[in-house]
Structure 1
Amino acid sequence: MEWTGTLILLLLAVFIFCHLLISPKRKQWHKGRLPPGPTPLPLIGNFLQIKPTETFKSLLKLREKYGPVFTVYFGTRPVLVLCGHQAVKEALVDQAEEFSGRTTMPSWEPSFKGYGMGFSNGQRWKELRRFTYTALRNVGVGKKSIEERIQEEAQFLLEEFRNTKEKPFDPTFIFSWAFANIICSITFGNRFDYEDKEFQALMVMTNQFFRAMSTSWAQIYNIYANYLNYIPGIYNNIYDCKDMKVFVAKRIKKNQETLDPNFPRDYIDYFLIQMEKEKDNPSSEFIIKNLEANVLNLIIGGAEPGSSTSRYGFLLLIKYPEVQAKVHEEIDRVIGRNRVPNIEDRRQMPYTEAVIHEVQRCSDVLPMDLIHMVICDTEFRGYHIPKGTTVYPLLSTVLHDPTMFKSPNAFNPENFLDENGRFKKNDAFVPFSAGKRICLGEGLTRMELFLFFTTILQNFQLKSLISLEDIDLTPQMSGFYNIPPFYQLCAIPR
């Protein structure tokens, strides 16, 4: 009993100490005129309204009462929540500069610590993003050479499907290997054999990262990190990508040992050459820590989202065989059964293009986007948002906005077709986010999805092992990321 009392007193003292530390900061936030929201309690904020293990669902419920723009408190930290196409567009596009900041989710902090383009701000972000855009162009992204690499990888993917010999299989890692090999060829200068144990281990680590970031614990920690960090050993429960960082460090060292500045082979080489150019600049952002973080950003962002989208896509195609049949018909008519698909075919295949867009919309792999932050005091919809305010643009509410889509809550390729069956763009199509923080790999991923989908469907009919009505599209995990459900399918040669 005495020990319990001592512990309670200790915890109380810690909370009071935390409160004293953050009180000046809270006063700073209250200088703003933030949008209304549920009344926060001292220290714990909107704990009663937000179930930490179901953050996204809790925010959707609050939208019903407070509208498309409202404020919640994660502990003592105010968070501006944006819902629906109009609100997200006004912030991320119409006021792109003001909303261009990024703040790292606490669960990601041990992995990146502010380095790299993904979670940095100011000059570091601008320099690294500008350099990365140029370097990716230099290694072929957006050019014919990258299309050829994807076409080549599609043939390896096709062979894996053939090797299943019509038997049931789980496509999880097959897709991961294919998408990862494209980004690996860009970053490291070479693809990996699918049987390569080191490569397979990297894919397992990437998959584990997204699973770890979507656990209930990660969601709790992201809300209450300011308090939980006072508990000794708390960081032991946070995934920090240490094995992935070891893999990346080894690859960087290999490039350093074989670098020829006159013939850069990949993204790492271009970064190392820039490091050498700026070696006498003490404030240079071209340092090893930023290179390691950038490579991690590229691998994580370039492999798993495309893989997850494809897994959702094939699940949708087996659940809706009539859609799959129409894609088969268009492929046969435009490409035929023998020629390798190319990206130019996309212009003549509006239905297939609409299906792939609808797959991306419905898979909704990043429902809450990466966290944004306003970089200066900002006027928004009549409210005053103080500099440094965290912003949650709920991309899922844009992708399912009833004012922008005919069938917002159903899988329907006609969401992207006009009355004449032509492909129709939609401003609410934001699976890659929007504004200045839009994903650099948007064009690459769209190319990969088209070429991988058409190559597989040109050669196979996808079939389910269970009745169509029993196919469940519910994510197996939903937090920061929507992780597709496990399933098996059969690939029947056409």
Structure 2
Amino acid sequence: MLMLAEVLLAFLLSLLILRFLKLRWAGRRLPPGPTPLPIIGNLWTLSFRLHHETLIQLAKIYGNIFTVWAGETPLIVFSGCKAVKDALISHGQEFSGRPITPFVNQFTQGKGIVASNGHGWRQQRCFGQMFLRRLGLQQEMGLEWQIQEEARHLLESFTSRRGRSLDPSVPIRHAVSNVTGALVFGRRFSSEDRNFQHLLKAINFVVSFNGTHWGRLFDTFPRLMRRVPGPHQEVFVYVEYVRSYVKQEIRSHLENPSDEPKDLTDFYLAQISKTKDDPNSTYDESNMIQLVIDFLLASSDTISTTLHWAVLYMVVYPAVQEEVQKELDAVLIPSQIVCYEDRKRLPYTNAVIHEIQRYANIASVGLARQCTKDTSIRGFLITKGTIIIPNLSSVLFDPEHWETPQQFNPSHFLDEGGNFVTNNAFLPFSAGHRVCLGEQMARIEIFILFASLLRAFTFQLPEGVTEINKDYIYGTVIQPHPYEICAIPRWTILHRRP
């Protein structure tokens, strides 16, 4: 019995040594990086997640292009503004693929925009661009009009609290999701609509799951994890709910067709009909469902999280909040509805919004890319199929491009004359062929909602609360810890001034 145990131990040890040597051989031409262990690679070093701060520290050791191993899969990490822009822009075509992880594949089946490749991805993205462009050109019921209408409802929601403490994430998420809901379904949803609220809960759970330890474990050991109980089983229940919800909305559109397309569902149904005889068309119901889900997941969570951080920073930095309000009061007349064009006359407000996006850093590492053909970059040969990780945090906090990268400083976007200036290292929406499709929509929505809120309210801590947690919750999207604030109507504050 003892001899059998020794033989088994020797066999396992030999197997581990062979796998270790295999990893070393596979990585001989890859960029440098920490030594991987058999089976788990560098997951132990990475604490089973691709944390942006850990990757920044590794870049200091191994350089701005280095390799980490997720299990026995190599990931090439690009760090710092120059390296990331070289990868995403100079080699944008070569790094335009999207790796399909086991979780994402089970969720999307390679459909839609976010997690698709090749001809299907190009057609779906082209449609998405066309839809947003046409919507942006509409003056009435168009994108900006929808956002302004939702801003009005958001202000009413805050006003109803009469200065009492509240969790701002709830009305903000509802408002942002309603903008997206109006774009894809053609109508807004009441805060009392339980089905819509359950949809938001499901979307939040799905987005959050992919950045958890369970999500990483599922992608690393999919066959095993499918048989193990845990929240990864629950997430697919939520996925199915979102899919069923979208299918029901599509059926409603088919049963009640409109004379003129007014939302994404209408436009896509028309596109399916238009291209039904084209053998190369990928416009079908399965792609349509996933495209709608992509819009719901991508825009609702990222925009609402940015605004959630925005309110927190205004509480933490009251002098910044006051300066924004002074500018808004000086430039906009009281009855004026905030328009995106107003940003040109509000340089400080615009700078604060950009600094919120930089400092909040909600995209963190950024979505992975995949090399579509053998490519040489900075002396390294990156073979087709290799996964690329652009560490966006290393760009947004690159000390070579930001005067005070670790501080919240709106002056990063202002010149000496107080005029707004751009910064080449501002890449919160990523860059290149896979740049965020909804970038312009996000810019408009964040500006209008933020400016509208700051005109109407001053945000401060509830009575008896002396500080707010500025740390973050790490996940697919970087979230602030739950907090409560008081939204004080500004007419009250102005009335009290001597």
- The letter for the 2-side match of 1:430 is L
User: 2: distance between equivalents of 1:152 and 1:373?
Assistant: 40
Q: Is residue 368 of structure 1 aligned with residue 362 of structure 2?
A: no
- Contact 2:52/2:393 (<8 A) preserved: no
Out of 85, 91, 98, the residue aligned to residue 94 of structure 2 is: 98
Q: Is residue 61 of structure 1 aligned with residue 57 of structure 2?
A: yes
- Contact 1:216/1:479 (<8 A) preserved: no
Secondary structure of 2:460's counterpart equals: strand
User: 1: distance between equivalents of 2:177 and 2:466?
Assistant: 32
Note the alpha carbon deviations across 1:168-204, whole angstroms, 9 max, x for none: 0001121111111111111111111222222211111
User: 2: distance between equivalents of 1:344 and 1:490?
Assistant: 29
Equivalent residue, structure 1, for 2:460:
463
Change in 2 beyond 3 A, CA 1:307/1:12: farther
Equivalent residue, structure 2, for 1:128:
124
Secondary structure of 2:111's counterpart equals: coil
Measured after TM superposition, the shift of residue 458 of structure 1 is: 0.9
Secondary structure of 2:308's counterpart equals: helix
Measured after TM superposition, the shift of residue 468 of structure 1 is: 8.7
- The letter for the 1-side match of 2:275 is E
Query: After alignment, is 138-147 or 411-420 more displaced?
Result: 138-147
Query: After alignment, is 187-196 or 356-365 more displaced?
Result: 187-196
Equivalent residue, structure 2, for 1:81:
77
- Contact 1:139/1:267 (<8 A) preserved: no
- Contact 1:460/1:493 (<8 A) preserved: yes
- Contact 1:219/1:479 (<8 A) preserved: no
Equivalent residue, structure 2, for 1:408:
405
Q: Is residue 259 of structure 1 aligned with residue 257 of structure 2?
A: yes
Change in 2 beyond 3 A, CA 1:313/1:456: same
- The letter for the 1-side match of 2:251 is K
Q: Is residue 213 of structure 1 aligned with residue 205 of structure 2?
A: no
Measured after TM superposition, the shift of residue 47 of structure 1 is: 3.5
Measured after TM superposition, the shift of residue 63 of structure 1 is: 1.5
Measured after TM superposition, the shift of residue 448 of structure 1 is: 0.9
Equivalent residue, structure 2, for 1:187:
184
User: 1: distance between equivalents of 2:405 and 2:119?
Assistant: 39
Question: Which residues of 2 match residues 96-245 of structure 1 at below 5 A?
Answer: 96-140=92-136, 145-222=142-219, 224-225=220-221, 228-230=222-224, 233-234=227-228, 237-238=231-232, 239-240=235-236, 241-245=239-243
- Contact 1:118/1:297 (<8 A) preserved: yes
Measured after TM superposition, the shift of residue 310 of structure 1 is: 0.4
Equivalent residue, structure 2, for 1:276:
273
Q: Is residue 34 of structure 1 aligned with residue 30 of structure 2?
A: yes
User: 2: distance between equivalents of 1:91 and 1:151?
Assistant: 37
User: 1: distance between equivalents of 2:139 and 2:364?
Assistant: 30
User: Please, which runs of 5 or more residues in structure 1 have no aligned partner?
Assistant: none
- Contact 2:372/2:385 (<8 A) preserved: yes
User: 1: distance between equivalents of 2:240 and 2:322?
Assistant: 45
Q: CA RMSD in A?
A: 2.7
Measured after TM superposition, the shift of residue 53 of structure 1 is: 4.7
Change in 2 beyond 3 A, CA 1:398/1:487: same
Equivalent residue, structure 1, for 2:375:
378
Query: After alignment, is 428-437 or 203-212 more displaced?
Result: 203-212
TM-score, normalised by the number of residues in structure 1: 0.90
- Contact 1:350/1:423 (<8 A) preserved: yes
User: 2: distance between equivalents of 1:442 and 1:209?
Assistant: 21
User: 2: distance between equivalents of 1:191 and 1:115?
Assistant: 26
Secondary structure of 1:139's counterpart equals: helix
User: 1: distance between equivalents of 2:410 and 2:393?
Assistant: 17
Query: After alignment, is 44-53 or 424-433 more displaced?
Result: 44-53
User: 1: distance between equivalents of 2:154 and 2:46?
Assistant: 42
Query: After alignment, is 454-463 or 348-357 more displaced?
Result: 454-463
Query: After alignment, is 230-239 or 36-45 more displaced?
Result: 230-239
User: Please, which runs of 5 or more residues in structure 2 have no aligned partner?
Assistant: 491-498
- Contact 1:369/1:393 (<8 A) preserved: yes
Secondary structure of 1:392's counterpart equals: strand
Equivalent residue, structure 2, for 1:434:
431
Query: After alignment, is 244-253 or 144-153 more displaced?
Result: 144-153
User: 2: distance between equivalents of 1:29 and 1:356?
Assistant: 45
User: 1: distance between equivalents of 2:201 and 2:43?
Assistant: 34
- The letter for the 1-side match of 2:260 is F
- Contact 2:208/2:476 (<8 A) preserved: no
Note the alpha carbon deviations across 1:72-123, whole angstroms, 9 max, x for none: 1111111000111111100101111111111134333321121111111111
Change in 2 beyond 3 A, CA 1:97/1:468: farther
Measured after TM superposition, the shift of residue 244 of structure 1 is: 0.9
Equivalent residue, structure 2, for 1:45:
41
User: 1: distance between equivalents of 2:127 and 2:25?
Assistant: 35
- The letter for the 1-side match of 2:143 is I
- Contact 1:137/1:143 (<8 A) preserved: no
- Contact 2:33/2:68 (<8 A) preserved: yes
Change in 2 beyond 3 A, CA 1:348/1:232: closer
Secondary structure of 1:470's counterpart equals: coil
User: 1: distance between equivalents of 2:19 and 2:190?
Assistant: 54
Change in 2 beyond 3 A, CA 1:336/1:232: closer
User: 2: distance between equivalents of 1:57 and 1:247?
Assistant: 37
Measured after TM superposition, the shift of residue 19 of structure 1 is: 7.0
User: 2: distance between equivalents of 1:293 and 1:400?
Assistant: 34
- Contact 2:104/2:115 (<8 A) preserved: no
Change in 2 beyond 3 A, CA 1:246/1:165: same
Equivalent residue, structure 1, for 2:296:
299
Equivalent residue, structure 1, for 2:470:
473
Change in 2 beyond 3 A, CA 1:202/1:276: same
- Contact 2:458/2:489 (<8 A) preserved: yes
Measured after TM superposition, the shift of residue 234 of structure 1 is: 4.2
Q: Is residue 250 of structure 1 aligned with residue 248 of structure 2?
A: yes
- The letter for the 2-side match of 1:472 is N
Secondary structure of 1:52's counterpart equals: coil
